[in-house]
Amino acid sequence: MTDDEREPVSLYASLMGLQRYLGTATPSSLMALADSWEQVVGTRLARYCGIHSINRGTLVLQTAEPAVAEQLGWLATDLRDAANTVVGSADIVAVEVRIIPGWDSTPAGPEGPIG
């Protein structure tokens, strides 16, 4: 079969294939986590950290504060479980925390920070 004989593929199917290939989270998973961020990490910590990404099963968090990063590290298993509950799957298998100097968790809009 030549390239000219293949059936057309929808844009949605192409993007979902790319998402799976790259190992990134679906937009709905990221939105669910952003909407439930305080529920996942707690009200106090939510002010000092945010979601950087979900890549190949790893939820990557970011903060500017080393003490917050340490606390998130200690809570990694609980955070993983809470995040999986929110997204409705067991796709998140690990949590990684990055310290990003100068990162500001001040909400940029009504949705608040997601990374």
The structural domains of the chain, with segments of one domain joined by +, span 25-115
- Is the C-alpha dihedral spanning 82, 85, 87, 91 positive or negative? positive
pTM for this model (two decimals)? 0.73
Architecture of domain 25-115: 2-Layer Sandwich (3.30)
Give the pLDDT confidence of 57-66 residue by residue, as tens digits. 899 999 999 9
Give the list of residues 6+ apart from residue 115 with CB closer than 8 angstroms, or none: 50, 51, 52, 53, 62
- Environment class of residue 2 by beta-carbon count within 10 Å: exposed (0-12), middle (13-18) or buried (19+)? exposed
Give the pLDDT confidence of 2-51 residue by residue, as tens digits. 666 778 878 777 766 766 666 666 777 888 898 999 999 999 999 999 99
